[in-house]
């Protein structure tokens, strides 16, 4: 379901442009992009990618997603960590502060943007710090 509060197309918001290698990990089976990206550019869950969208529902899953995916975006990709939106009425132990602090604890990552992925999911974008690239 599209984010009703945003006029920015979801793929553009995420940085999934033509030719960008992308991957989605941990999404619910029913989750889908508002508009399907180029299927030819999708990469396997362990391959390097320009954009990774990783879903987490718990602190344990958050750590697992960060550990499993941060190397995939090296040196200049983006790792979006998505969690259930409280604004949509979801109960979650995750929020932007916890996601940010957990990602920044890996001293090679920095967060650059928070956004509503859709009506049900918020997401925080992490990239590699310039001095670590």
* pLDDT tens track for 80-116: 999 998 766 777 889 999 999 999 999 899 999 999 9
State the chain's maximal CA–CA distance in angstroms: 39
Q: How does 91-115 read in b/e, with b if 16+ C-beta sit within 10 Å?
A: eeebeeeebbebbeeeeebbbeeeb
Question: What does the domain layout of the chain look like in residue ranges?
Answer: 10-132
| C-beta atoms surrounding 63 within 10 Å | 15
Q: Express as a percent the part of the chain with pLDDT over 70.
A: 94
Q: Scanning the structure block, which residue is given the tokens 């920095």? A: 110
CA gap 18, 82 in Å, rounded = 22
Res 3 pLDDT > 80:
no
* 40-45 average pLDDT score: 96
pLDDT attached to residue 88? 61
Would you identify the CATH topology of the domain 10-132?
A: Rossmann fold (3.40.50)
Note the pTM of the prediction, 2 decimals. Answer: 0.92
Helix axes 59-69, 96-104, angle to 10 degrees: 40
């Amino acid at each position: 379901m599209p984010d009703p509060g945003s006029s920015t197309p979801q793929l553009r918001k995420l940085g999934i442009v033509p030719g960008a290698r992308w991957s989605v990990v941990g999404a619910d089976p029913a989750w889908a992009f508002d508009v399907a990206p180029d299927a030819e550019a999708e990469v396997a869950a362990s391959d390097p990618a320009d954009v990774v969208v990783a879903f987490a529902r718990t602190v344990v899953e958050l750590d697992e997603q960060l550990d499993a995916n941060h190397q995939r975006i090296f040196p200049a990709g983006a790792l979006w960590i998505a969690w259930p939106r409280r604004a949509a009425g979801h109960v979650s132990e995750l929020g932007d502060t916890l996601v940010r602090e957990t990602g920044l604890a890996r001293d090679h990552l920095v967060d650059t943007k928070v956004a509503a992925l859709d009506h049900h999911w918020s997401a925080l974008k992490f990239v590699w710090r310039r001095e670590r690239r």
